Structures are given as structure tokens and as C-alpha cells.
Amino acid sequence: MNNIEWKKEKNLSLLVDFYELTMTNGYLVNGDQDHIVYFDYFFRKVPDNGGFAITAGLQQFIDYLMEIEFSDMDIEFLKEMNIFEEKFLEYLKDFKFTGDVWAIPEGTPVFPNTPIITIKAPILEAQLIETMLLLSLNHQSLIATKSNRIARAANDKPVVDFGARRAHGADATIYGARACYIGGCLGTSNLLASKMFDIPVIGTIAHSWVQFYDDDHTAFKSYVKAFPDNAILLVDTYNVLGSGIPEAIKVFDELEGEGKKGIRLDSGDLDYLSKKARKLLDVAGYEDATITATNSLDEYQIRELERQGAPIDSYGVGERMITARSEAVFGGVYKLVAVETEEGISPRIKLSEEAVKVTNPGFKELWRLYDNRNGNAFADLITFKDEEVKAPYKLFDPLSPWINKTAKNFTAKKLQTLIVHNGELVYDFPTLDEIRDNLNNELSKLWDGLRRFDNPDRYFVNLSFDLWSEKQRLIEKYRNK
């Protein structure tokens, strides 16, 4: 298949790491294809050393899972490699996911080492879907987390995704815009993302518009002639205070009607220029004219502008949000945690010299505990799937079990919900606005210390005693082998 054919078909079935195919071929050769296994998707570290992350990308992964199909061209390509068994290629021809998927809904604050997605499926199916799961969740969770930091820095002022031209490819900008909206952006400049996901689209003019005309005044007048109800003018092409703002005011004076008026600043000292601009606009009688700031912004620059009292009404943020420039990897992983045997569900563990990389074994449940006195979340708890959680309950730090307390007055909520059962979708996906509402609701239940950009409080993720004990047993069993 050539590149044009692939683009037309856009079949993602071969979007896998090669070892997923070699391993599944090997399982089939060894007669292990019917074994039911359990995998967890989780992450180990919050980006930017933040207090929490935000999960996103679930719907795109499930869309892929429901549509995966190996075409005749895929099979022929694999056959020509001369390494796969014929019966494996026949298996791929009829491939369909038949397992179960549990997941935390998108737009939920999440913490390291908690199972965000759990897969139960025959080993071949569970292994083949790894890459798409990781890239869907890792990318959008990273961008949703970053955009939420930026939105919070703006103190509820509108933030718009302006990153369409700076993302790492077409899919990155489309799904990045979706994640930005989940995280808290008001809208996007990306028209295709707006069409696909019903995100408000926002944009005005570029410097090239101003450069095309002889001067600021002619450029601004030509623009408002075309769009009199949305006169947002870019004033920094030549001289912000010398010609940009004065000429914008002249054009506002010539406008008829009560359409939206404002300016955009895209360079220079945004604090100084926005304060000067505000005075000029107010003196001219345009107290309602808005000031939008752009220019490679991130949460720290926006926070400083807000601290300095810059009279900026909204922010357009590009590459530092759509690429999560300060930390460009989310680091989610997909690990085998259990295998069904004749005796039941047998937990599995991965050991490491680093304690944070030792996995939590078994088929598990994730709970969030809320204080009944104020409704705030105070801990997450991971248990085996069949355990009950009720007060009083002893919580302890799994890395330092001598640090413990007994929780008494709380409500425990299961965070994962069943998305796919026996290969069939059993979940109604919420709209993006409903996802945003869920995020805002859950964020309101986290204490302020978790929101800090620098040195946030630690949120405790606890293990049940039974799970912790099984983990210690497996560590002892395997560490000296």
C-alpha cells in the first residue's frame, strides 16, 4: 500500500509496536491464545511536578477498539515478512475484540499508580491493543493536564487554543484541541477540531493581513468592513503605542453599531503594553474593548501577568500548550497484572530496583474517598476487585506502612466504570461539555494545596491490606530468582 492509499483508507490496525505481533504469534504457536489476562494502564509521575493529572483520550481509544480490522493488504504485508505462522495470519483476518474494558471517565483528576484503564481479554487481544491505548491516553491526558494548569493560571479568564500550526502533526493538533477544551480552554482556532468535536472556534487576523496593506489604519478599516461585529485588531505589527492602538481607536470611531471591539498583543512586554493600551482605550471611551494576549505563553507567564495586575481579558496559547513543551511525555504504561488459571485469578507483578516501578498485582478496584463533613476527596484506595470498603477503614502509605490513620466518616466511590463488555460497547459517552463539567466538579473537591504549581501537597494513594500483603508475598517470591 502506498502513502496515498493509506491516507484514503486510514486503517490503524497495524499501528502497533512490532513485538505485539511477534508475541501474539508466539502465544498462538504455544497454544496459549485462550488464556484470559488482565492489564492495567496507569502512570507514575504527574507532568510538571503538579499535584494531579487529568485523564483524556478514552473515546478515541474505544472508537479504535470497536473498529479494528486487519485488511487483506495488512495480511499480505505481514505474510511477505515470512516470520508469522499461517494460522496467526488467519486469526488476524477474523480479529475482533471480545473482552471487557473498565475505565475512569475522561475529565477526572487522577494520581500516579492508580489503574485508569483495566483490560480483561484473551492474551492475544489484550496484547495487540497496547500501542493505540497508550498513544491515545498518553497524548490527550498530557495536553488536558497542561491546559488545565494554564486555565487555572488565568484566574477564570478565557484561554483559547492557538496551537494548530505548532503541534506535532495533524492528529496531534486535532486531538490536542479536544484535550485543551477538556482541560478548560474556551475554544480553539482549529476549524477541523471545531467541526469534529463541536468546540467553539475563535480567531481574527494575522500579521500578514496588516502587512498586505500600506499601513495599520487601512488594514484595520479593511478588516472591520468585512467583519464589523468582531473588530478584534492585531496592533503589534509595526508599533503598538505609536500606530497600532491609535489607529485601532480611529477605526473604532468610524464603526457603526455595537459590535465587539478589542485588540490583540502578540509581542513585547505584555504587562507594560496592556496597561498602556487599557489607558488609551479607556480615555477614548472604549472601556468595553477587550485586550487579548498571545506570544508563546504558558502557565508561569500568565500567572505572573495576573500577579502584576495586567488588564488582559483573555489569552491565546499556542505551542507551549498543544505540545506541553515543558514536559512532553505523560509516561503512562500498560502492564500485565493477572492471569486466569484453573485455580482462579493469579496476580502477576513486575519488579524493579526502583520502588515506584514495582507494579500493583491483581484484578483491582479503584476507590476515591470523600470526607462526609466537607465533601472533599482525601485519598484514593486500590483494593482487589471483590473487597468492600466501609468505615472505619485503616489507611496506610504502601511505601511507608508505619504512616497510617483510620478513616471513619467518609463515602467511598468506585472510579472505574464498565465501558466494553464481551466486546460490545455498553457505555454512553458524554459530550465534551459534560466532561468539562465533571472535571470542574471533581476539581472543586480537591484541596487547594494540590492546585499549587510549585511544591503541591501530596495526595495519598493507598493499598488495601490484602493487596499490599499479596504484593509483599510476590516480591519475596521473585526478588531472589
CA torsion sign, 73 to 74 to 75 to 81? positive
Model pLDDT, residue 481 = 67
Model pLDDT, residue 284 = 97
Q: Which CATH architecture has domain 204-304?
A: Alpha-Beta Barrel (3.20)
Model pLDDT, residue 180 = 98
Model pLDDT, residue 5 = 47
Model pLDDT, residue 61 = 98
Q: Is 60 helix (H, G, I), strand (E, B) or coil?
A: helix
User: How far apart (Å, rounded) are the C-alpha atoms in residues 138 and 179?
Assistant: 11
- On whether the CB atoms of residues 230 and 236 are closer than 8 A, the answer is no
pTM exceeds 0.85, yes or no: yes
Cell numbers placing 61: 481509544
Which one-letter amino acid corresponds to residue 330? F
Model pLDDT, residue 448 = 94
Model pLDDT, residue 4 = 47
CATH number assigned to the domain covering 3-143+328-363+413-478: 3.20.140.10
User: How far apart (Å, rounded) are the C-alpha atoms in residues 57 and 36?
Assistant: 25
User: How far apart (Å, rounded) are the C-alpha atoms in residues 125 and 274?
Assistant: 56
Q: Return the domain boundaries, the chain.
A: 3-143+328-363+413-478, 204-304
Query: Which of these, 381, 386, 395, 336, lies nearest to 361 by C-alpha position?
Result: 336
Strand partners, 429: none
Buried b (16+ CB within 10 A) or exposed e, 397-414: ebeeeeeeeebeebebee
Could you read off the pLDDT tens digit of each residue along the chain, which spans 481 residues?
444 444 445 789 999 999 999 999 999 999 999 999 999 999 999 999 999 999 999 999 999 999 999 999 999 999 999 999 999 999 999 999 999 999 999 999 999 999 999 999 999 999 999 999 999 999 999 999 999 999 999 999 999 999 999 999 999 999 999 999 999 999 999 999 999 999 999 998 999 999 999 999 999 999 999 999 999 999 999 999 999 999 999 999 999 778 899 999 999 999 999 999 999 999 999 999 999 999 999 999 999 999 999 999 999 999 999 999 999 899 999 999 999 999 999 999 999 988 889 999 999 999 999 999 999 999 999 999 999 999 999 999 888 888 889 999 999 999 999 999 999 999 999 999 999 999 999 999 999 999 999 999 999 999 999 999 999 999 999 987 6
User: How far apart (Å, rounded) are the C-alpha atoms in residues 295 and 155?
Assistant: 19
By CB atoms closer than 10 A (0-12, 13-18, 19+), residue 355 is exposed
Model pLDDT, residue 401 = 86
Model pLDDT, residue 1 = 42
Dmax (CA) for the chain in angstroms is: 83
